[in-house]
Structure 1
Amino acid sequence: MFSIRPAKLLPFFLLAGMFYAPVGARAEIAHLVLDSDPGDFIGGGKHSDLTYTPQNTVTNYFQAEVYGTSSGLPSYLRFLFFLNTSPVPSEYAMLDFSTQQLGIPIGVGTYTNAERAPFASPGHPGLDIAFESREDNALTGSFTINSLTFYQDANNKTQIANIDVDFVQYSRGVPGPALHGHFTFSSSAISSVPGPSGLVSMGMGLTSVATFLGRRFRSRVGCR
């Protein structure tokens, strides 16, 4: 009978396992469609259809974050994007959706009588759509969240996994020119299954373990 000390196998198990460790990376994409009525200040009275990714935005200007909480749960969401290929005026966009002043977590549903999110008064949801560096301090509107999910990151911090939301924003009161929009954001985990080179390396590691075990066995039983 032969025995093997686990400590001596540790380098080989590390070699085998290091090529199969989860990377924790995520694929993120956002899509914004705006239909701006003539006379609407924020949207400029035009149709806009934009896709944002970390690759086509300025460094640190692809952001999706839980900006505030109520009773420890998300209640204020902020999205910020700035295309790195934009001519002037820039395709900068910031979108805020909040239920902080309602005192409830944000979730699927329709929210009416919204005020500008950072300055919403008690009893009002928050909405703030800024585009091409245009903002409005006295906006009103409504939004409907069709779907919304979250996930916990490696630091146990709540992050936005996906959202699908429709909104209407008025910059000059109701009735008046409106900004109609639809926005989606998705952050999905990238599979940690290794590519071909990773599989080859993992196989080499496992082969090393098998070879080591075979030699140990032969030395114990007197085989050469």
Structure 2
Amino acid sequence: MKKWLAGVLILLASPVYAGENILYYRSETGDYIGQGKEKTYTDADLTFSASKNYDNGVTVSMENFTDTPFLWWDANFAAPGDVLLQVGVYENATRFPFQASNVPGLDFSGDGRGCNELTGRFEVKEIVYGAGDTITSFAADFEQHCEGGEAALYGSVRYNSDVPVETGDQCQATVAALQAQVESLQGQVDALQAQRDALQAKIDGFDIDGDGEYNGTDRCPDTNAGASVDDSGCSLTQYCKQQTTKRRCIKADWQHDELGVALPHDCKVVKTGRTTFNCESILSGKIDLVP
């Protein structure tokens, strides 16, 4: 996930090249193909050509055999099933041209180095087919890993394309900008939380049912007006309804909210069926409700 996020951050940066043939790659430490380097090549460095390959994909060749040392790179892309490559994202790619028929093919190699086994992904951003096997315009970004390794090579290929390429130079600035946005949003969240806490404190300080118990500690905030309540803000009727078992009902002590007092008790068991019962308050006057 972190590896892919790093690639995404590159794509979020501001463009620095557009409207020309470009090869750009950023190789992580441990990557065999790019040797841990970051490189950008244009028409001034390499001769670019593009054509359809035998999997109905695209091969972009980039070379310079005039200057020394010689430079040559090839980038191959293919869709699953040998169908024509189209604009879109291609996941779970393996090494071209040895990929299975149900997965995309990808290979970036050159300078005498290539992967024996390869995994990766790529996104075709632009493709315009010409006559026959010719390619008029092509743009793709890719990520590949050699031999099942963690180290990645992130790259971009442009052929007669105006789709911009973003290099890793802007990555840190982009991360800093995103971090600043996160911190700003967190500050707003903290401020809203403080307002909420202050409002809740005010609400807890009210006595919405007027029984003398503030909302923050009132277990029964809907007591009828004028009803006597215990120290948790519950009337006798409300208190008995809160008891959940026969034993609790029999041992209930309304004024003190204690369950260990056997007699006198303030709630009585009223059967409503063979196995069900209700706890109701004793209002017969047989017991003193005020301790």
Normalised by the size of structure 1, how large is the TM-score? Answer: 0.58
State yes or no: 1:164 paired with 2:139: yes
Structure 1 residues 136-183: Cα deviation after superposition (integer angstroms, max 9, x where no partner): 12011000001111122xxxx241011111000001325x00000011
State yes or no: 1:173 paired with 2:148: yes
Instruction: Name which structure has the greater RCO, CA cutoff 8 Å, separation 6+.
Output: 1
2:63 paired residue among 75, 79, 82: 82
Contact 2:57 2:82 in 1 (8 A): no
Displacement of 1:79 after TM fit? 1.6
State yes or no: 1:111 paired with 2:90: yes
Structure 1 pair 130/56, CA: closer, same or farther in 2 (3 Å)? closer
Q: Distance in 1 between matches of 2:125 and 2:63?
A: 25
Contact 1:108 1:147 in 2 (8 A): yes
Q: Distance in 2 between matches of 1:44 and 1:85?
A: 23
Structure 1 pair 158/42, CA: closer, same or farther in 2 (3 Å)? same
Larger relative strand fraction: 1
Q: Distance in 1 between matches of 2:106 and 2:35?
A: 18
State yes or no: 1:148 paired with 2:130: no
State yes or no: 1:52 paired with 2:52: no
Structure 2 alignment gaps of length 5 or more: 1-18, 162-291
Contact 2:21 2:160 in 1 (8 A): yes
What is the DSSP-based 3-state SS (H/G/I as helix, E as strand, rest coil) of the residue aligned with 2:148? coil
Moved more, 157-166 or 77-86: 77-86
Q: Distance in 1 between matches of 2:43 and 2:103?
A: 29
Q: Distance in 2 between matches of 1:103 and 1:132?
A: 28
What is the DSSP-based 3-state SS (H/G/I as helix, E as strand, rest coil) of the residue aligned with 1:118? coil
Q: Distance in 2 between matches of 1:170 and 1:114?
A: 10
What is the DSSP-based 3-state SS (H/G/I as helix, E as strand, rest coil) of the residue aligned with 1:102? helix
Structure 1 pair 63/128, CA: closer, same or farther in 2 (3 Å)? same
Determine the structure 1 residue equivalent to 2:15.
none
Contact 1:32 1:184 in 2 (8 A): yes
State yes or no: 1:32 paired with 2:30: no
Displacement of 1:132 after TM fit? 1.4
Contact 1:93 1:129 in 2 (8 A): yes
Q: Distance in 1 between matches of 2:43 and 2:21?
A: 5
State yes or no: 1:137 paired with 2:116: yes
Contact 1:56 1:85 in 2 (8 A): no
What is the DSSP-based 3-state SS (H/G/I as helix, E as strand, rest coil) of the residue aligned with 1:68? coil
Q: Which amino acid aligns with 1:76?
A: G
Q: Which amino acid aligns with 2:152?
A: A
Name the Cα RMSD after superposition.
2.4
Structure 1 pair 86/133, CA: closer, same or farther in 2 (3 Å)? farther
Determine the structure 2 residue equivalent to 1:7.
none
Q: Which amino acid aligns with 1:168?
A: E
1:41 paired residue among 27, 32, 36: 32
Determine the structure 1 residue equivalent to 2:103.
124
Determine the structure 2 residue equivalent to 1:96.
76
Report the number of matched residues. Answer: 144
Query: Rg: which structure is higher?
Result: 2
Q: Distance in 2 between matches of 1:135 and 1:168?
A: 14
Contact 1:52 1:83 in 2 (8 A): no
Determine the structure 2 residue equivalent to 1:68.
54
What is the DSSP-based 3-state SS (H/G/I as helix, E as strand, rest coil) of the residue aligned with 2:94? strand
Contact 1:117 1:126 in 2 (8 A): yes
Normalised by the size of structure 2, how large is the TM-score? Answer: 0.46
Question: How many percent identity over aligned positions?
Answer: 29
